[in-house]
Amino acid sequence: MGEVGEEAILAAIFPLLPAGAATLLGPGDDAAVVAAPDARFVVSTDVLVEDRHFRRAWSTGYDVGWRAAVQNLADVAAMGATPTSLVVSLVVPSDLPVAFVTGLARGLAAACEPVGAAVVGGDLSGAEQVVVAVTVHGDLDGRDPVTRAGARPGDVVAHAGRRGWSAAGLALATAGRASCALPAAEQDPLTAAYLRPDPPLGAGVAAALAGATSMLDVSDGLLRDAGRVARASDVRIDLDLASFAADAAALVGAARDLRSGPVRALVDEWILTGGEDHGLLATFGPDAVLPEGFRVVGTVLASDGAPRVTVNGSAPAVAGTGWDHFGGSSR
């Protein structure tokens, strides 16, 4: 990177980045101009830091770009909005191969194109570690945003996407048992889910249209994120662990690979506290027809103090409640 220079690198990256229907003025000026037909826009920012959120030994540039985009796109989806555009601040060490950065641009593009989001701007600088800070924008198309604060007693709790796959993939990688070194198409599903989470982004708008009363992107673990909805809405959320049987079936092999003896506790921990799958947790009125991709995973109850989140009626028995981005895992 250091030998190539900023402008040459940007010139190599820009052609790789997707344009979008909302882009009125793309990269290259002091700022971009993006259409906001709704006269409002949704905005969120999320950062990935090398050796904290990913390791270059496991993740390619493509993987990091994909993940940086998806974790941001999921935040827009969780408001019930349609993503329109991203900007990317990228800092990289001077000895980073240029191919990592062009791969990162390809990963961003691959995640953005299916949802119609453009990369409209960026900044590039040097540092000791790779840091990818993405800001994402979305359009609400006249709808109210779906916040965390609207869950009501009697609502059903529903989830779209995978639970625990990313955590299991990370556990495999940490144990040296993941297939990170293989080409993407040959990686096992849990490794792939960790490296390139692939949540059902379209389910966000579908949930809004179906009348979701609250919604969030499960990025820090189900218990922790369900707790955020419960606090913001002043309710209790009771989760039905059996509703994640399909995830448990997908995870049990990895658990057996990592632990001799009973593995149920480890599988449950991945499901309840694993982060980074970026599935959508939403609540719906009792008569709502759930959109495709959502399954009922619990019930909203009146608040009766702590605990805010219960599992099959009881305080959760797992060791931790999820990921602290600053202090690391709270486990």
Per the CB < 8 A criterion, the answer to whether 173 and 58 are in contact is yes
Among 33-41, 240-248, 258-266, 304-312, the segment contacting its own copies (CB under 8 A): 33-41
Contact between 112 and its own copies per CB under 8 A: no
Check the annotation: does 122 bind a ligand: yes
CA distance 197 to 279: 9
Q: Helices 98-112 and 6-13 sit at what angle, rounded to 10 degrees? A: 30
Q: Which residue, 293, 331, 328, is CA-closest to 49?
A: 328
- Return the SS3 of 217: strand
Q: Which residue, 194, 196, 205, is CA-closest to 280?
A: 205
CA distance 206 to 292: 8
Choose between 74 and 255: whose C-beta lies nearer to its own copies.
74
Among 49, 110, 184, 252, binds its own copies (CB under 8 A): 49
Among 39-47, 175-183, 260-268, 311-319, the segment contacting its own copies (CB under 8 A): 39-47
Contact between 76 and its own copies per CB under 8 A: yes
Those residues whose C-beta lies under 8 Å from the C-beta of residue 225, and which sit 6 or more positions away, are: 216, 217, 218, 219, 281, 322
Check the annotation: does 217 bind a ligand: yes
Among 19, 56, 58, 91, binds its own copies (CB under 8 A): 91
In a 10 Å sphere around its CB, with 0-12 CB exposed, 13-18 middle and 19+ buried, how is residue 166 labelled? buried
Contact between 265 and its own copies per CB under 8 A: no
Nearest distance from C-beta of residue 248 to its own copies, angstroms: 27
Check the annotation: does 51 bind a ligand: no
Contact between 18 and its own copies per CB under 8 A: no
Check the annotation: does 44 bind a ligand: yes
Among 23-31, 55-63, 105-113, 205-213, the segment contacting its own copies (CB under 8 A): 23-31
Q: Which residue, 83, 65, 68, 106, is CA-closest to 23?
A: 83
Among 37-45, 154-162, 235-243, 302-310, the segment contacting its own copies (CB under 8 A): 37-45
Tell me the site size for its own copies, rule CB under 8 A.
Answer: 76
* Interface with its own copies in residues 197-226 (CB under 8 A): 215-217
Per the CB < 8 A criterion, the answer to whether 76 and 161 are in contact is no
Among 13, 69, 88, 203, binds its own copies (CB under 8 A): 88
* Interface with its own copies in residues 114-133 (CB under 8 A): 120-129, 131, 133
Choose between 91 and 110: whose C-beta lies nearer to its own copies.
91
Tokens describing residue 153: 């007693």
* 57 conformational bin, left if phi > 0, alpha if psi -120 to 50, beta if neither: alpha
Give the per-residue contact string, 292-331, with its own copies (x = CB under 8 A; - = no).
--------------------------------xxxxx---
Those residues whose C-beta lies under 8 Å from the C-beta of residue 283, and which sit 6 or more positions away, are: 150, 151, 152, 155, 156, 157, 158, 212, 213, 214, 215, 229, 233, 300
Binding-site members for ATP are 122-123, 148, 219
Binding-site members are 30, 44-46, 53, 75, 122-123, 148, 217, 219-220, 276, 323
